[in-house]
Amino acid sequence: MMMMMMMMMMMMMMMMMMMMMMMNKKKKKMMRKRRRIMMIYFYDKFHRSYLKLAAENKRGKMCEFEQDSQ
């Protein structure tokens, strides 16, 4: 699970870097707003999937871990 999260974070970082590289001085003002929207969008998407994963893990994996520790 942690690996998947890391991968998602890496992909997000890459996309942000790409956007910054593609940006030229003229477009900067326009892109700033768009980038904020993109950030919010990505964060929202990522956060939701993370919450879903966390919920699934609590049901499945946590029980297994508890049994293992006993």
Q: What is the pLDDT of residues 32-60, one digit of tens each?
A: 677 677 777 777 777 777 777 777 766 65
Q: How confident is the model at residue 70, as a pLDDT?
A: 46
Q: What is the pTM of this model?
A: 0.30
Angle, in degrees to the nearest 10, between helices 28-59 and 61-69:
50
Q: What is the mean pLDDT of the chain?
A: 68
Over residues 14-39, the mean pLDDT reads 68
CA distance 66 to 17: 41
